[in-house]
């Protein structure tokens, strides 16, 4: 009887933890060129985990920066880098830019809209 109770307890715990794996990460592909992000508008849910896949399709180096998301990454021409972020809890707009001198001023900026 004791063995059966222990076995039932182990099975119950196993079933309860099946869905407790790693949280899902949604990939968002962003292309960087002179002087834009494509897409420049991204939507996400509060608390969502995103993997930003940043591909520099241009001829110049770029630097993805978002102070709001606490993320930055240098991307050399013809390369791809990733950055994982957790979307802030507050709804609203969060900016991202290229902070290479002159790039943001030339229009290289985008927004993440948190729903």
Instruction: Select, from the ranges 7-11, 12-16, 38-42, the one with the highest average predicted confidence (pLDDT).
Output: 38-42
pLDDT tens per residue, range 18-52? 555 567 999 999 999 999 999 999 999 999 999 99
DSSP 24: P
What are the Cα distances from residue 99, in Å, to 7, 8, 45? Answer: 59, 58, 26
- Whole-model pTM: value is 0.79
Instruction: Identify whether 39 is part of a domain.
Output: yes
Which is more confidently placed, 14 or 78?
Answer: 78
Number of domains in the chain: 1
What are the Cα distances from residue 86, in Å, to 33, 51, 110? Answer: 25, 9, 17
What are the Cα distances from residue 27, in Å, to 24, 44, 82, 99, 103? Answer: 10, 11, 9, 23, 25
Instruction: Identify whether 110 is part of a domain.
Output: yes
Instruction: Identify whether 14 is part of a domain.
Output: no
Kindly state the tokens that stand for 108: 């290289």
Instruction: Identify whether 11 is part of a domain.
Output: no
Instruction: Identify whether 50 is part of a domain.
Output: yes
Instruction: Identify whether 16 is part of a domain.
Output: no
The angle subtended at Cα 65 by Cα 114 and Cα 110, nearest 5°, is 50
User: 55: domain range?
Assistant: 23-114
CATH for 85: 2.60.40.420
Residue 108 has pLDDT above 70, yes or no: yes
DSSP conformation letters of 50-62:
EEEEEEE-SSS-E
CB-based burial label for 31 (10 Å; 0-12, 13-18, 19+): middle
pLDDT tens per residue, range 41-93? 999 999 999 999 999 999 999 999 999 999 999 999 999 999 999 998 899 99
Instruction: Identify whether 2 is part of a domain.
Output: no
* pLDDT for 7: 47
């Amino acid at each position: 009887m004791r063995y059966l109770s222990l076995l039932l307890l182990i099975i119950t715990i196993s079933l309860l933890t099946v869905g407790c794996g790693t949280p899902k990460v949604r990939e968002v592909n962003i292309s960087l060129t002179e002087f834009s992000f494509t897409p420049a508008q991204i939507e996400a849910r509060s608390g969502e985990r995103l993997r930003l896949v940043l591909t520099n399709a241009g001829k110049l180096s770029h630097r993805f920066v978002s102070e709001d998301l606490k993320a930055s990454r240098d991307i050399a021409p013809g390369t791809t880098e990733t950055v994982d972020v957790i979307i802030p809890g507050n709804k609203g707009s969060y900016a991202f830019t290229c902070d290479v001198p002159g790039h943001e001023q030339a229009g290289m900026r985008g927004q993440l809209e948190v729903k």
